[in-house]
């Protein structure tokens, strides 16, 4: 028979792990369900320099420290994919492996990297195309790579890759970046980074089953020969399995009230699966703590 939990937290990113920390320290029986590695998006982030208490820390290291904090408290983790939520307090949380029950659910589902959806992208995934510089960057040591995107992630990961790779070409569809001037200046100062603006990817070309060239809309440089390509073109919430269950907006972000309660009673949401102005570790953690506290007050 499956165990019953006070709260099941779906997603072990920083928001979910913070909620688990607060609930477990208050003596509640919690289960965290995660389909990948604990840490969520920060496991794919090279350097974090704006989380208080750490001058500079690598994303996977911060993720592991948070995870270790929870395992020291004996928080339970289950590694499976949640496919649906059924019932009403107690809820059934159905995964691809087990069915669990709980009084409360916290959805801390985060977001997943957006894809370009161009020709050969799927075929060359893992064969030259990646969404994680910290995971796959070392494969391209002293090689030529491209980074697609014009936001903070693209710029920060371009800098990270420039330290490993022979040449990094940053490709952005406009000439205006979504980042502060200091970060843009840092990118401009690095010699082995070249920037192509006002260019979009038309398709990827392969040679012997591996990425070989990127075809661009740029008149100046329509073909770029590369060994690897990293896409950082934003994120989208991982909420498709919930669309029929609770209220999500047109982009898939979960709708919540001021206390982070969803349209279902006793089901809360926090972190990057919510629509907001600021997507930072610090406010994802803060939301996890607020949700836990709201539940503890009941
Ligand atoms: P983002 O800010 O949404 O930027 C996405 C970039 O990809 C934009 O430049 C966008 O171009 C481009 N893009 C989107 N779709 C595209 C397509 N189909 N083809 C080509 N380019 C496309 O995403 P992000 O960089 O992942 O950042 C997400 C959030 O996390 C932001 O709020 C960011 O500030 C935050 N963040 C913070 C830090 C930090 O504090 N250290 C680090 C990373 C991210 P347009 O500009 O033309 O729309």
Instruction: Please write the tens of the pLDDT for every residue from 99-114.
Output: 999 999 999 999 999 9
Structure confidence by residue, pLDDT tens digits, 53-80: 999 999 999 999 999 999 999 999 999 9
Q: Hey, which of 118, 154, 170, 178 would you mutate to test ligand 1's pocket, going by the most ligand atoms within 8 Å of its Cβ?
A: 178
Distance (angstroms) between ligand 1 centre and the Cα of 232 equals 7
Asked whether residue 1 carries a pLDDT value surpassing 60, the answer given is no
Instruction: Give the pLDDT score at 3.
Output: 85
Peptide bond into 90 cis (omega under 30): yes
User: Cβ(296)–Cβ(116) under 8 Å?
Assistant: no
Query: Which numbered atom of ligand 1 lies nearest the CA of 235?
Result: 26
State residue 271 phi and psi, 5-degree precision.
Answer: 85, -155
The confidence band for 208, taking pLDDT boundaries of 50, 70 and 90, is very high
Contacts by 138-141, CB closer than 8 A, 24 or more apart: 138/164, 139/228, 140/164, 140/165, 140/227, 140/228, 141/165
Which pLDDT value is given to residue 253? 98
Which residues form the catalytic set?
Answer: 132, 135-136
Please state, rounded to an integer, the average pLDDT across all residues of the chain. 96
Pocket test for ligand 1, best of 152, 195, 196, 253 (most atoms within 8 A of CB): 152
**Minimum CA distance residue for ligand 1 atom 36:** 152
What is the predicted pLDDT for the residue at 68? 98
pLDDT band at 284 (very low <50, low <70, confident <90, very high): very high
pLDDT in tens, 164-199: 999 999 999 999 999 999 999 999 999 999 999 999
Whole-number Å distance between alpha carbons of 269 and 274: 7
Task: Ligand 1: list residues with CB < 6 Å.
Answer: 50, 116, 148-154, 156, 173-174, 178, 200, 232-235, 279-280
Strand segments (E) across 141-218: 144-148, 167-171, 193-196, 201-207, 210-216
């Amino acid at each position: 028979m499956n165990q019953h939990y006070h709260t099941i937290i779906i997603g072990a990113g920083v928001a979910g792990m913070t909620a688990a920390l607060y609930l477990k320290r208050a003596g509640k029986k919690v289960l965290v369900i995660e389909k990948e590695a604990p840490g969520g998006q920060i496991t794919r982030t090279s350097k974090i320099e704006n989380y208080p208490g750490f001058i500079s820390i690598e994303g996977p290291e911060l993720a592991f420290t948070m995870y270790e904090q929870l395992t020291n408290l004996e928080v339970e983790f289950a590694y499976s994919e949640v496919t649906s939520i059924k019932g009403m307090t107690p809820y059934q949380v159905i995964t691809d492996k087990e069915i669990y029950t709980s009084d409360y659910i916290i959805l801390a589902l985060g977001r997943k990297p957006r894809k370009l959806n161009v020709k050969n992208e799927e075929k060359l995934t893992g064969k030259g195309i990646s969404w994680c510089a910290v995971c796959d960057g070392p494969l391209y040591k002293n090689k030529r790579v491209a980074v697609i995107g014009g936001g903070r992630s693209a710029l920060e990961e371009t800098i990270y890759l420039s330290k490993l790779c022979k040449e990094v070409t940053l490709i952005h569809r406009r000439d205006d970046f979504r980042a502060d001037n200091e970060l843009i200046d840092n990118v401009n100062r690095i010699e082995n980074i070249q920037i192509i603006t006002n260019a979009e990817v038309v398709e990827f070309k392969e040679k012997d089953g591996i990425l070989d060239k990127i075809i661009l809309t740029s008149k100046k440089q329509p073909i770029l020969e590369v060994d690897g390509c990293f896409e950082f073109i934003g994120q989208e919430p991982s909420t498709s399995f919930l669309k029929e269950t609770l209220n999500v907006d047109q982009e898939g972000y979960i709708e919540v009230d001021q206390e982070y309660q969803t349209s279902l009673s006793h089901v809360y949401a926090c972190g990057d699966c919510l629509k907001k102005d600021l997507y930072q570790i610090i406010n994802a953690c803060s939301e996890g703590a607020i949700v836990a506290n709201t539940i503890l007050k009941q």
